[in-house]
Amino acid sequence: MDINKISSSEEEKTKGNECFSNQEYKFAIDHYTKAIKLSNSSTPSSSSSIYYNNRSTSYYHLKEYDKSIKDAEKSISLNKTYTKAYYRLALALFESNLFKKAKKVIIQSMKECEDAKNNQEIAQLFEKIKNIQTTDTTERTQQQQIFDFQQKTKSSNTTADMLKSFQQPSFLKQMGLKELLIPEFHLEYKKKFPKEVEHFQTLEQLFWESKSQNMRILEITNEQMDLKIFKNPYYWSKRFGCPLSSDCLKNLFNMTPGDIITEVEDFKLQKPKYANNKLYHSFNNSSQLRNALNLGKNYVSIGFTDLYMVLNNELRPYKNSSGPVNLFLYDCCPFACAKANVLINMFRDKETIPESIFQVWYSAGWSTKTETDFLKACKTFLESDTATDQDMKLIVKGWLSAKSLPIAESREKWFKTLNGLEHDCYNFIYERDRVEIARYYLTGELMNVDVGSRTMFVSHVAPLHEYKRWNDENFIYSQNLITEIKDNGKSFLSSLVDDVFQKIALSKNIIESLKLINVFIQKNEISPNNTALLKEIKALKPWVVVWSNLCDYFTRKDFIYMAKFISTTETMHSGHTMNWLQSVFGTEISDYPIALRQQKIDLLQKFIGSVTKMLCSSGIMKRMNPEFITNISNKLGYMFGLQFFEKWKEFYFQGVKCDKVTMSSPHTLSTSFEIYYFQFTFKDEMIMSKGLSEI
């Protein structure tokens, strides 16, 4: 037996497990693959079986179900009594809609494995499969034809090859679809960066996925017929974000679009607390409204602490008020609070340049000057009176003690943890814009870089390794800070960088020299039971309270209670909701009978045609091509939002003076078209125009 090889295999498995626990699934796959390669005929089959199953699990989390199935089957062949491999195989088959095969695997596991009979996960999966009634084999819908076509192309070398086959004229004609003509942005990128093979392959797949977008629409209009989706509790639990009772499922069929599903609201009481998610953002992951700040007033931000309000640096006097603006920021995540504290110290420091603040805030790569300024701000924080939270101190010490991260390593980490790419690179009119946006998506880098970001990729000490980065940050969301891209010969991304950079420079002057904005950051968790914090906020006599989207995490009763508790007669509340669609029936195309779905989509096509031409005639949208802004799956949320948001608002804010301010702009660089922003107060006679456009 080759002891060294066995040891090396186990070491790679351990490394893979660490990456898996950090949700770095692509890195985990690399290590499990090495473990498999290092094993040989002397390696115990039980060990090799674990390597394959672990890799299968990683593929499963990346939704690469074919590869997950293949590895799970190999794992079982090496150890026929390995319960976990049977479960993984059944789960991957289930997600591939191969329900009968998944059922057979579970039955086989109960024969081969003693512990499978008492395995709770296997029992729950088996119950889900039993509740799904598949169609008779004589029913041949268009979706089934697509599925068959996919099976025939499984032998393709790449996903891009398979997607290309969807674009065959004969198949498109058969399906009643038109080819979506979009710029070949993957080839444009290859021309600019010929040596970046992996990046090109990723963009090539994205290109063909974009061209095949209308396949998704076809599946939407036919999936109920194939899967009997209305009789599938598993689907509805995913649709509404919680398991529904049998009585509620029965009532779904009698509901009218716009009706509130109260069970979804009640389920918020059972959800894990937001504070326990152990997830963090490196910066804001959704568009924010532009706010002005009234001098001499106290502003409170509860939820996601990103210092975003600092960039809204339009200061205004209010009547006879004077003095600086005071921003009080509360967040339950020590990572977010630590980074915000370091950033605000960079704003205050005379020697720190605006470029350094910009990169620490937004970029996956830094210049050496940025790293120097960042480390100085870390030391300042640790020496200050505000460094009272132990977790925050440990995080900042971790950033300080880490070695400089080579830029090649940070690029690999960013690329391998991509949580999907935006499908709208092609929406830009100019090739330069398409290539630059693609480059940003693939690297996360802005301005000139020398080393990797410490805040995004350093996780060698507690509690840093306990928190997982939510990989959907996107600097492009900052476009809401600007209203117009000037025709100055610069690209879209360069113009956006310049504009945000100028706002950072102006804010630095306001904070450092003029001292007109004070910022106080505290790690604390808001809840109806945290009376001490509620009293502390109320004592501030807040002028405005910004709630982020915390209404998505609390029942209306708890949310309104907290808002009312901390209010004075002058307090205005603002926030946004992203998950309200889960509480309203009729806000997803699958809520409708199949006979009505195509009618809804046809209406939407006409709606898009009229709206996009108007949108692309002004502001930042001038750089967009209206012919390509046709992402139906996103625009469906936009259309249903226009129809039903008032229903949700009436339910959630009943008895409260609430005014809907605006909906997230339906621009192509934000994928959440159903985001709504609102403001409310508890004093009826209060003038609502004090709200988001002026606060």
| Domain chopping of the chain, boundaries | 3-131, 142-235, 255-273+542-695, 311-524
How far apart, in Å, are the Cα atoms of 610 and each of 180, 600, 606, 615? 19, 16, 7, 9
Angle CA(566)–CA(569)–CA(572) in degrees, nearest 5? 65
How far apart, in Å, are the Cα atoms of 177 and each of 52, 171, 280, 536? 40, 9, 41, 60
Given a contact cutoff of 8 angstroms between Cβ atoms, the answer to whether 389 and 532 are in contact is no
Residue 658: strand pairing partners? 680
Superfamily for the 3-131 domain: Tetratricopeptide repeat domain (1.25.40.10)
Q: Return the pLDDT at 156.
A: 47
Can you point out the beta strands (E) in 295-385?
Answer: 298-302, 314-316, 325-331, 365-366
Q: Return the pLDDT at 606.
A: 67
How far apart, in Å, are the Cα atoms of 256 and each of 261, 324, 568, 584, 603? 11, 51, 39, 10, 19
Question: Which two tokens mark 177?
Answer: 């679809």
Given a contact cutoff of 8 angstroms between Cβ atoms, the answer to whether 375 and 351 are in contact is no
- Any residues with CB less than 8 A from the CB of 237 and at least 6 apart, and which? 243, 244
Q: Return the pLDDT at 549.
A: 85
Tokens 């697509």 sit on residue: 146
Position 96: which residue type? S
Tokens 């046709």 sit on residue: 630
Given a contact cutoff of 8 angstroms between Cβ atoms, the answer to whether 218 and 143 are in contact is yes
Nearest-CA neighbor of 218 among 175, 279, 187, 270? 175
Q: Where are the alpha helices (DSSP H) in 566-617?
A: 594-615
Q: How far apart are CA 694 and CA 671, in angstroms?
A: 27
Separate counts of helices (H) and strands (E) for the chain = 29, 13
For the chain, 695 residues long, the average pLDDT of each consecutive 10-residue run is 58 89 84 88 82 94 88 93 93 85 90 84 83 46 49 51 64 62 89 93 84 60 46 68 77 84 75 57 66 89 80 79 91 89 96 96 95 97 91 91 91 80 73 91 93 83 65 68 67 87 92 93 91 97 91 88 92 86 82 73 66 60 66 57 79 72 45 69 54 37
* CA 599, chain centre distance (Å): 30
DSSP letter at 140? -
Tokens 């020590």 sit on residue: 334
Q: Return the pLDDT at 439.
A: 93
Give the torsion through C-alpha atoms of 535, 539, 541, 547, to 10 deg: -30
Angle CA(501)–CA(503)–CA(508) in degrees, nearest 5? 95
Q: How far apart are the first and last CA of the chain?
A: 72
**Phi and psi of 290, rounded to 5°?**
-85, 125
Record the pTM: 0.79
How far apart, in Å, are the Cα atoms of 280 and each of 21, 337, 365, 395? 15, 10, 18, 13
CB atoms within 10 A of CB 352: 23
Please tell me whether the peptide bond between 593 and the residue prior to it is cis, using omega within 30 degrees of 0: no
Given a contact cutoff of 8 angstroms between Cβ atoms, the answer to whether 40 and 8 are in contact is no
Tokens 């499969």 sit on residue: 129
Nearest-CA neighbor of 396 among 352, 351, 357, 345? 345
Given a contact cutoff of 8 angstroms between Cβ atoms, the answer to whether 12 and 29 are in contact is no
Give the CA count within 13 Å in the CB-facing half-sphere of 147.
13
Q: How far apart are CA 122 and CA 322, in angstroms?
A: 65
User: What are the CB-based long-range contacts (under 8 Å, 24+) for 478-484?
Assistant: 478/284, 478/362, 479/287, 479/620, 479/667, 479/669, 480/287, 480/288, 480/289, 480/290, 480/665, 481/290, 481/311, 481/312, 482/620, 483/619, 483/620, 484/619, 484/620
Q: How far apart are CA 456 and CA 449, in angstroms?
A: 14
Nearest-CA neighbor of 254 among 644, 586, 583, 639? 586
Q: How far apart are CA 103 and CA 125, in angstroms?
A: 9
Can you point out the beta strands (E) in 342-441?
Answer: 365-366
Q: How far apart are CA 440 and CA 432, in angstroms?
A: 12
- Any residues with CB less than 8 A from the CB of 360 and at least 6 apart, and which? 339, 342, 343, 346, 366, 370, 373, 374, 453, 455
Buried b vs exposed e over 511-527: b needs ≥16 C-beta within 10 Å?
A: beeeebbebebbbbbbb
DSSP letter at 273? P
Q: How far apart are CA 292 and CA 306, in angstroms?
A: 17
- 3-state class of 656 per DSSP? coil
**Phi and psi of 520, rounded to 5°?**
-125, 125
H helix or E strand, kind and range, residue 666: none
Can you point out the beta strands (E) in 287-434?
Answer: 292-294, 298-302, 314-316, 325-331, 365-366
Give the torsion through C-alpha atoms of 64, 67, 70, 72, to 10 deg: -60
Q: How far apart are CA 126 and CA 90, in angstroms?
A: 9
Question: Which two tokens mark 184?
Answer: 């070949």
Q: How far apart are CA 694 and CA 245, in angstroms?
A: 45
